[in-house]
Amino acid sequence: MSEQYVAAIDQGTTSTRCMIFNRDGRVVNVDQKEHEQIFPRAGWVEHNATEIWDNTREVVAGALAKADLNSSDIAAVGITNQRETALVWDRTTGEPVYNAIVWQDTRTDAICKQLGDLGGGAERYKDKVGLPLATYFSGPKVRWILDNVDGAKERAQAGNLAFGNMDTWVIWNATGGTDGGLHITDPTNASRTMLMDLDSLSWDEGIADEMGIPMSMLPEIRSSSEVYGQAHEHGPLRGVPVAGILGDQQAATFGQACLSVGEAKNTYGTGNFMLINTGTQKVPSKHGLLTTVCYKIGDQATVYALEGAVAVTGSLVQWIRDNLGLIGSAPEIETLAKTVEDSGGSYFVPAFSGLFAPYWRGDARGAIVGLTRFVNKGHLARAVLEATAFQSRELLDAMNADSGVDLTSLKVDGGMVANETLMQFQADILGVPVIRPVVAETTALGAAYAAGLAVGFWEGEDDIRANWAEDKRWEPHMDEAHREKRYRKWKKAVTKTFDWVDEDD
């Protein structure tokens, strides 16, 4: 094969990236562009999908140009994306009927309660879809758009509207849009809508019907790794096989080579997401985790995962920077934290979108507790970093309890793992080593692997394992009594955020 590279498009929460990888799984080039975060009201978060598609085209062209490559150098392109974020658009015009409603958005709280009241509460669909009813997932967001955008319900019933997560939107546009664009998704994305049966990997008509979502809106579910079609002739990737789709967290799991049962990774980005590969076994959670599809390579058996999702980790650092102005850039949180020894007894519980795993409390809101006159901004910076580590410990505990096996180390990635103070505290609070790989861009890498496997650029999982290499590891140093005391205090702090939202809020 003459092509030397695989491209990955990573349509994330804060930005869109295009990365070009070589056969060793190393980044050859990258281009990236942030998009606007739209906050129309407290608890609402939206993205302009047209801006996102424009950025996608720009970064693809940018990444190719920087490396002096063109489409004939690229063997395949894979897509990874912010999951759950929901978009509805008109098939004939290509126009979104409303902004994309982002995964962090809490506006569907009432819809989720109403659905739960039909019987079963938050667990109503859990056996089939692996998820509790929560504002996080796509289905209720689509329902909100159909209920609230003038004429949307009628247009949907007439078959004119399409739903997709951002993978679907990017691929529909990249393969031609109104000119024959593919309306497809993969099981990892579909498993976050609350509409897909985890066993059959098909849409569940009964659930779609209860949510008032016409089946005609839903994309076709294909595997995570196969040639779906070619990029449209008018784009920078003209003719390149579009051959991989993985939701961002599943992509990171794949890129971290967590390909065997019991292997786990934790990604530290806007939020934190810990996934453990459970193999072809679909493991139901008793401890607040999600059962989800990990990947499905071509016609091979479906691989499942248990996932712990935390809504606010890196975005708390952004909040300290943008809303309080305590720091000028995200890395400065570490400089500020290092001015003190510890958090001075303070705990920051960032329940800005309620609490996700393992609590699933939509009624919680953020709190800083344990304040005294002793506490200064250095202590608060520490409390901010520690919040990420404590929330990750809660996920690890839940995973150990659900799987019955204790994890002995944890692979990590994402923007926050550059923070060494956080990584050391993380190892201390988990009591197991924390390991960072050489290629920290595991999300884009995972999508590249999915696409590259489909076209034979990589032969199989052995190539992926062989490409994985350790960069650094942090060993736990904190003594156990101190660790458990700090964790106990954290859990107490969490309880102070419960029951904050009232019916009339």
**For binding to ligand ADP (CB under 6 A), which residues are involved?**
12-14, 269-270, 314-315, 317-318, 330-331, 333-334, 414-416, 418-419
Contact of 3 with 23, CB cutoff 8 Å: no
Least Å from the CB of residue 98 to ligand ADP: 22
Q: Nearer Cβ to ligand ADP, position 13 or 29? A: 13
Q: Nearer Cβ to ligand ADP, position 13 or 135? A: 13
What's the sign of the alpha-carbon dihedral 331, 336, 342, 344? negative
Residue 378 CA to residue 333 CA, distance in Å, equals 9
Tokens 């994306």 label which residue?
A: 81
Q: Nearer Cβ to ligand ADP, position 241 or 244? A: 244
Tokens 């015009």 label which residue?
A: 93
Q: Nearer Cβ to ligand ADP, position 13 or 403? A: 13
Q: Nearer Cβ to ligand ADP, position 234 or 472? A: 472
Q: What is the CA radius of gyration of the chain?
A: 22
Torsion of CA 307, 311, 314, 315, to 10 degrees: 160
Least Å from the CB of residue 353 to ligand ADP: 14
Least Å from the CB of residue 82 to ligand ADP: 8
Looking at 70-209, which runs of residues are DSSP E strands?
A: 74-81, 87-90, 100-101, 161-164, 184-185, 196-197, 202-203
Least Å from the CB of residue 36 to ligand ADP: 14
Least Å from the CB of residue 459 to ligand ADP: 29
Q: What strands, in cross-sheet order, belong to the sheet with 303-310?
A: 290-295, 303-310, 272-279, 264-268, 410-413, 434-437, 470-474
Least Å from the CB of residue 151 to ligand ADP: 34
Contact of 418 with 381, CB cutoff 8 Å: no
Q: Nearer Cβ to ligand ADP, position 168 or 270? A: 270
Q: Nearer Cβ to ligand ADP, position 12 or 362? A: 12
Q: Nearer Cβ to ligand ADP, position 133 or 327? A: 327
Q: Nearer Cβ to ligand ADP, position 81 or 185? A: 81
Q: Which residue is nearest to ligand ADP (CB)?
A: 415
Residue 439, SS3 per DSSP? coil
Least Å from the CB of residue 287 to ligand ADP: 24
| Six token digits for residue 367 | 């709190």
Residue 206 CA to residue 426 CA, distance in Å, equals 43
Least Å from the CB of residue 152 to ligand ADP: 29
Residue 187 CA to residue 450 CA, distance in Å, equals 13
From the list 410, 306, 418, 320, the residue with the least C-alpha distance to 358 is 306
Contact of 186 with 246, CB cutoff 8 Å: yes
Least Å from the CB of residue 384 to ligand ADP: 8
